Amino acid sequence: MHTISDLRKLLGLTTTNQVRNRIEAIKDVLSDHLRRGPNNQILITEGGVELLRRLQNLYDSGLTITEASEVIRSSSLIESSLENKISSGFVQKQVNAKEREELIAVLKEEIAFLRERVAFLEQRKEQRPKADKKHEWWEKLREEV
């Protein structure tokens, strides 16, 4: 846990008011990292220090505190939404034995129907006269060789 005076040194700032201004700029993002110590002293965790360093780096690169805080705020929202969307793993659906047997029976029926259909179509194809090839619809589209 870091105090305001510790943060002043870590961030390379000259006054504690500069630290307080930076904390105030991203207070909503820092809320999980802020604590109160003895005599209501502000304490910040390591995660909060990293956020303040990012804010200070953005400020040093030429952005205003307000612009830098908006960047920090938007990036933290994106990170939190990604954490919520990413699945933590595969969850297998629990099916009892009766439901499993019913599903297997339905699948067996479907396979039997498809096998009959394939056999019917193969038989129909074999019975078709080969002389009909001249009358296929695509034969008209072929070029003469």
Contacts for 35-41 with beta carbons within 8 Å, 24 or more apart? 35/1, 37/1, 37/3, 41/3, 41/4
59-105: pLDDT as tens digits: 999 989 998 888 888 887 777 666 655 555 666 667 788 888 898 99
Domain shared by 52 and 74, yes or no? yes
pLDDT tens, residue by residue, 24-58 = 999 988 888 888 888 889 899 999 999 999 999 99
Task: Judge whether 144 lies within some domain.
Answer: no
Looking at the domain assignment, is residue 113 inside a domain?
yes
Domain extent at residue 66: 4-85
Count of domains in the chain?
Answer: 2
